[in-house]
Amino acid sequence: MKIFALYNIKGGVGKTTSAVNLAWLSARDGANTLVWDLDPQGAATYCFRVKPKIKGGRKGLVRGKSDLDDLIKGTDYDNLDLLPADFSYRNMDIELSDTKKPERRFQKLLEPLADEYDHIFLDCPPGLTLSAESVFGAADVLLMPMIPATLSMRTTDQIEQFLKQEKVKHLQRLYFYTMVDRRKKLHRELLDRRSKAFLETIIPYASAAEQMAVYREPVFVYAPRSLPALAYEALWREVRERV
Amino acid sequence: MIDTLLAFALPPELTADGLKSRLAAYVALQMRPPQPIERIYYDTFDWRLAKAGLALEQDLSGARASWRLYELATGDDVALLDAPTNSPFPGDGYAPFFSDALPPGELATVIKPLAAIRALLPLAHVAGTVTMLRVFNKDVKTVARVAVEDTHLVGSQTPLPTVARLLPVRGYDRRLDEVRLLMASMPDLQPSPNDPMVFATEAAGHVPGDYSSGLRIVLDPAERADEATRTIYRTLFEAMQRNEPGVRGDIDSEFLHDFRVSVRRTRSALSQITGVLPEAQVEHFKTEFGWLGQMTGPTRDLDVYLLQFDDFRADLPEYMRDRLDPLRDHLLHRQREEQAGLVRALDTTRYAKLRREWPRFLNKPTPARDTPENAAVPVGELASRQILRAYHRVVRQAAAVTADSPAEDVHEVRKSAKKLRYLLEFYSSLYPAEDLKTLVVELRQVQDILGEYQDLQVQIESLEGYAAEMQAAGDVPAATLMAIGALTGQLYSRELEVRQELMPILSRFTRPKLRRRFEATFDPPPPHSPDDDEPKDAESQPSTETENA
């Protein structure tokens, strides 16, 4: 089992779009795949047309009292399941701080799923929080989408510094640019200055990607030959080669 | 029942479209265009996969043939394998194949120990279309699927019933139940096997799990001995007939093994169950089944050597092992010859006559005049008498064996032990299973050691015979002859060891405590005629067969 965390400190950089589309590709290739929507806003859950859990806070989930198995929903696609968002995730940091070894908490929760799934994609909420730390503890690969902007570069430094400080060594880092507009000089310049942790593939800015929330389907379903579809296909191939 | 029912057979006039219209009155649905499907289901003749709760499906619907091993109860995948349809494995006319042919991987890892020496046979080959109906909710999220399968058996254009199969979507059990209840309430839909393998193989005339090489005969202790004896013979004859096509086709060596075991059991019964069916005919069939047993012997012997070949190799020092290769070639060549001879024997009028006359004899009522003396005796009574008699014979012979006894005396014990074992199998339904089990465990120890002793002797003799054959045919490397010599030497020293080991096992079987157990289980009522059961040991021809019973 490989666990991929789609994460960035910042919001609106394409985490959900990437999680949904990469998971779809993984499932299409025959791997049993799970998306865990950790963002209380539930964008991935919405894209898969599953209802988020609204009622009754799920304190039990983080404490491990609840069986993840019962919460998993099948999506419309073969080999692809979803652990839907839960509105109570907004309190996750508070709950985690009450548990022993919070940084190991997710790992413990995910262990029982190892038999069933080949790939798990964690769609993480933004922010450098306790839950982010717990995600880093559980994941094998940190997939970080970012928009080409000078400020974004600071983000990678922050993450690297944080991981160093927390002594997280096992985590493979793969960064990639999303919403790239090659007409912009800055975008082109930043692409040229990528470090080794960056993937070659870029996800171009395209309306097809934006429409995912309208169609509520992975881009491959409603626009299989669009630029983002081709780009995600290439990105997934590159990730498979690097991991 | 309703909780687990997931498949319904549709009446002939109801199409996928029709089912969709019916369901659409209650749930939101979308229909996808029909997709071609083609699948072949495999299992061994004795259903080793199904008995382990598994099914093996080859999906030929796409450009590549994918193999799927799944759990029958849940439909969950156990192992998957993609292989190009045109690869030599196995797509070659959907022929039977051995699990050794599977490429290394998870599929092979699970199947090999299960199938072992048995071939995987294509049991059903279905093709047609599947039309997927998607049941969705307010958010147009799929909450269940109904796969409508229109198929026929390949090679026959008669369509199979159209089956609507409910496919759950995880986490939407309640919606699945709604659709299930909806379909169950439609009076013209019939329950169909949930599993596609069960559906397809049943359509092809197989019943999953309906063959086992073990003997299962259910008798009533009060029924007449002639009726019960016929039941035993019929069961054995049925096993022979079921195995015959596999014997002729030499699909795997177990067909002939099981065929021979049935022949041997029949001969053993003919010689032991006396005074029950008309004597003259019994004598005739004894001769005929004796002939049949002989006809099948040489092929079986060669099968056994080929199956054991790797063990033979392992018995030799490593540098010698490859030198046995010409022996393997010779055995393979001889096996093909003998197999052809066996098929010729099965094509004779003599065999055809036996196959015709034997069931006719079994269906004939016992003559009212000159009724054989034991015909009307309750089988429970007769069985106990026969078993005890056979047991005492084993004990008598075993007690007489000393360290210096000739090998023939030891073989006599082996044959008697086997006869006793067969009686215990024929009549197992008449006695408490637990009591029999203990006695059979004791008996099996005797049989195992005596069988090994016999096998070693026969093997040495046969290997020397094959070496002579190879030499006569010329062209055999001296190193090979020496390797065979080294091998027989190994086997001979093992034979001497076994001869030492068998003494305490034989004497253990004669102990009084075990006799009391036998007598307690088969405590016979007073015999109605003191002279009727003198042992008639008719199985007198020397047994040169190697058995892996």
Structure tokens at A52: 């988020």
pLDDT of residue B543: 41
Residue A89 has pLDDT above 80, yes or no: no
Choice among B8-12, B493-497, B527-531 with the minimum mean pLDDT = B527-531
Q: Residue B544: which pLDDT band, with cuts at 50, 70 and 90?
A: very low
- Average pLDDT estimate for B120-133: 92
Suggest the residue from A76, A78, A216 to mutate for an interface test with chain B (most B CBs closer than 10 A): A76
Suggest the residue from B139, B166, B172 to mutate for an interface test with chain A (most A CBs closer than 10 A): B139
Q: Do B142 and A76 touch (CB under 8 A)?
A: yes
pLDDT of residue B542: 41
Closest partner CB to B141 (pick from A49, A71, A72): A49
> Chain A contacts of B175, Cβ < 8 Å?
none
Residues 454-513 of B with CB under 8 A from A: none
Q: Does B24 touch chain A (CB under 8 A)?
A: no
Q: Residue A100: which pLDDT band, with cuts at 50, 70 and 90?
A: confident
- Average pLDDT estimate for B190-212: 87
Closest partner CB to A76 (pick from B80, B141, B168): B141
Q: Do B172 and A73 touch (CB under 8 A)?
A: yes
- At position B538, the amino acid (one-letter code) is A
Q: Distance, in angstroms, between A223 CA and closest chain B CA?
A: 18
pLDDT of residue B3: 59
| Chain A residue whose CA is closest to B138 | A49
Residue B378 has pLDDT above 60, yes or no: yes
The answer to whether B226 touches B36, Cβ cutoff 8 Å, is no
Q: Distance, in angstroms, between A151 CA and closest chain B CA?
A: 38
Q: Distance, in angstroms, between B149 CA and closest chain A CA?
A: 19
Residue B357 has pLDDT above 80, yes or no: yes
Q: Do A72 and B171 touch (CB under 8 A)?
A: yes
Strands A141-146 and A172-177: parallel
> What is each CA distance from B407 to B27, B236, B410, B458, in whole angstroms?
79, 31, 5, 12
Digit-coded pLDDT (tens) for A42-78? 999 999 999 887 554 555 555 555 567 788 999 999 9
State phi, psi for B422 to the nearest 5 degrees: -60, -40
Q: Residue A123: which pLDDT band, with cuts at 50, 70 and 90?
A: very high
- Average pLDDT estimate for B402-416: 92
CA distance B237 to B479: 46
Q: Distance, in angstroms, between B71 CA and closest chain A CA?
A: 14
| Chain B residue whose CA is closest to A29 | B82
SS3 content of chain A, % helix, strand, coil (to 5): 45, 15, 40
Q: Residue B309: which pLDDT band, with cuts at 50, 70 and 90?
A: very high
Does the complex come out with an ipTM higher than 0.85?
A: no
- Average pLDDT estimate for A95-109: 76
Suggest the residue from A34, A47, A68, A73 to mutate for an interface test with chain B (most B CBs closer than 10 A): A73
Choice among A87-96, B233-242, B514-523 with the minimum mean pLDDT = A87-96
CA distance B237 to B231: 10
What DSSP string runs through B353-368? HHHHHHHHHHHSPPPS
- Average pLDDT estimate for B185-193: 90
Q: Do A30 and B80 touch (CB under 8 A)?
A: yes
- In 3D, which of B217, B255, B304, B305 has the Cα closest to residue B44? B255
The residue whose two tokens read 């015709």 is B356
Choice among A237-241, B317-321, B487-491, B526-530 with the minimum mean pLDDT = B526-530
pLDDT of residue A95: 72
Q: Distance, in angstroms, between A27 CA and closest chain B CA?
A: 14
Closest partner CB to B170 (pick from A30, A74, A216): A74
Q: Residue B73: which pLDDT band, with cuts at 50, 70 and 90?
A: confident
Q: Distance, in angstroms, between A40 CA and closest chain B CA?
A: 19
Q: Residue A98: which pLDDT band, with cuts at 50, 70 and 90?
A: confident
pLDDT of residue B541: 41
Mean pLDDT of chain A: 86
Q: Residue B62: which pLDDT band, with cuts at 50, 70 and 90?
A: confident
| Chain A residue whose CA is closest to B168 | A74
CA distance B80 to B48: 19
Number of helices and strands in chain B (H, E): 15, 10
pLDDT of residue B537: 44
The answer to whether B458 touches B305, Cβ cutoff 8 Å, is no
Residue B385 has pLDDT above 50, yes or no: yes
Digit-coded pLDDT (tens) for B440-449? 999 999 999 9
Residue B92 has pLDDT above 50, yes or no: no
> Chain A contacts of B139, Cβ < 8 Å?
49-51, 216
CA distance B387 to B440: 12
Mean pLDDT of chain B: 89
pLDDT of residue B105: 87
Three-state SS at A148: coil
Instruction: Tally Cβ neighbours within 10 Å of residue A158.
Output: 12
> Chain B contacts of A81, Cβ < 8 Å?
170
- Average pLDDT estimate for B123-140: 93
Q: Do B170 and A48 touch (CB under 8 A)?
A: no
pLDDT of residue B536: 44
Q: Distance, in angstroms, between A45 CA and closest chain B CA?
A: 11
CA distance B249 to B274: 36
Q: Residue B408: which pLDDT band, with cuts at 50, 70 and 90?
A: very high
Suggest the residue from A71, A75, A82, A113 to mutate for an interface test with chain B (most B CBs closer than 10 A): A75
Residues 67-126 of B with CB under 8 A from A: 80
Digit-coded pLDDT (tens) for B272-284? 999 999 999 999 9
Select, from the ranges A81-85, A190-194, B99-103, the one with the highest average predicted confidence (pLDDT): A81-85
Percent pLDDT > 70 in chain A is 93
| Chain A residue whose CA is closest to B139 | A49
pLDDT of residue A157: 86
State phi, psi for B146 to the nearest 5 degrees: -120, 115
Three-state SS at B227: helix
pLDDT of residue A183: 86
Q: Which residues of A touch B (CB under 8 A)?
A: 30, 48-51, 71-76, 81, 216
- Average pLDDT estimate for B482-504: 93
Closest partner CB to A74 (pick from B139, B140, B172): B172
> Chain A contacts of B134, Cβ < 8 Å?
76
Residue B63 has pLDDT above 90, yes or no: no
